[in-house]
Amino acid sequence: MEKNIPHNKIPAWLVLLAVLASVTAMAFPLLYLVSAALWASILIRCNHAALLLLLLLPPVGVVFALYAASGGTVDALVGNLCMALLGTVPGLALCLMQAQKRGGFYSAAVTGGLSALLLYFAVCLPGVLTGEGAFAPAEAAMHASADWMRQILDQMRTPETAAVFARYEEGLSFMENAVQTWLVPMLVLLGGLLGLSNTLFFRLFVKKDREALGLTPLKPFSRWSVPREASLGMFLLLLGAVVLMLTGSNSADAVSATVAAIVGLPLFVQGIALIDYLLTRNGKNIAMKRILAYVLIAALLPSLASALLFAGCAEQVLHIRDSYDRLKQYRDTQQNGGGHA
């Protein structure tokens, strides 16, 4: 794939940030929100296959150095290696998707899917290697966290707050027993967040060179949508989950929750995009409207999540934004005398 930007035009700050993010992300996990975007921004400017190997060296080297220094176990090494690749492998996928002009949805979906897979391997492979079971490390971590919370609650407990604290303890017990059901859906949601974040940061990092790199413009957020062809795949996933639940399978709850996360996340984002579109239709006080709307959504997210998901589903079925556009076009035509031919 030919590029109009030579290697010496790759910004040095971009390479430096990519290396720093790769070697420090395990200590500062928020860097995973941007690490894949940094590597994709470098790869999109370079067609040398050797760079694919070079970009793996910093994170993998750090993992092996820590392993040698600490005398760690093989299962811990495997888990850390998966986390070390959480920036580079999705970064390569993001680069390829954007180079093939696959659009924001598929770029975020593939990047997020690979991120979720690596997270699953990082969490579950150590337990498989030790023979304890895939979910054993996560369950042990949850039990330790719950015990720590119980110690804090015991110190704060008074006769007046005993009933309230009892409900907290019920919640802790539920979380301890629900690891096998909710771990994978949570990893899917986290992977989706990483895919979306890195796709947006990637477009920011290549904004000045977008035309030279041959990248298609990114749609405004108010026009973000789930591709119509993806609807069939979502429907089949939901249908499969329903059938599995009807069979009474032991894994039905976990599979259904995972499918709900896979299908629900893009529709949830589409619901927010629909709200953004409705807020910005008349072009007045757009910035203030967005600030107020997003602050409200963030503050009331648990209460609004279902409504936003419903809005995304409604848009997918009814094409609300297209209908508004056609109505506006019709009104403009009438106002301009188009109806008096």
What is the pLDDT confidence band of residue 8, given thresholds at 50, 70 and 90? very low
- Please report where in the chains the tokens 């609807």 appear, as a residue: 231
User: Which of 299, 316, 300, 134 is closest to 228 using CA atoms?
Assistant: 316
- Over pLDDT 90: what percentage of the chain? 41
Which pTM was predicted? 0.86
Other CB atoms within a 10 A radius of the CB of residue 59 amount to 25
The 3-class SS string of 249-307 reads CCCHHHHHHHHHHHHHHHHHHHHHHHHHHHHCCCCCCHHHHHHHHHHHHHHCHHHHHHH
CA dist 123 and 75 (Å) reads 10
- Decide: 43 and 1 in contact? Cβ < 8 Å: no
User: Which of 130, 265, 129, 114 is closest to 185 using CA atoms?
Assistant: 265
The 3-class SS string of 3-17 reads CCCCHHHCCHHHHHH
| Confidence (pLDDT) at 7 | 45
Sequence-distant (≥ 6) Cβ neighbours of residue 309 within 8 angstroms: 264, 267, 268, 271
Q: Mean pLDDT lowest for which of 49-58, 124-133, 244-253, 313-322? A: 49-58
User: What is the distance, to the nearest Å, from the Cα of residue 313 to the centroid of all Cα atoms in its chain?
Assistant: 19
Average pLDDT, stretch 325-338? Answer: 82
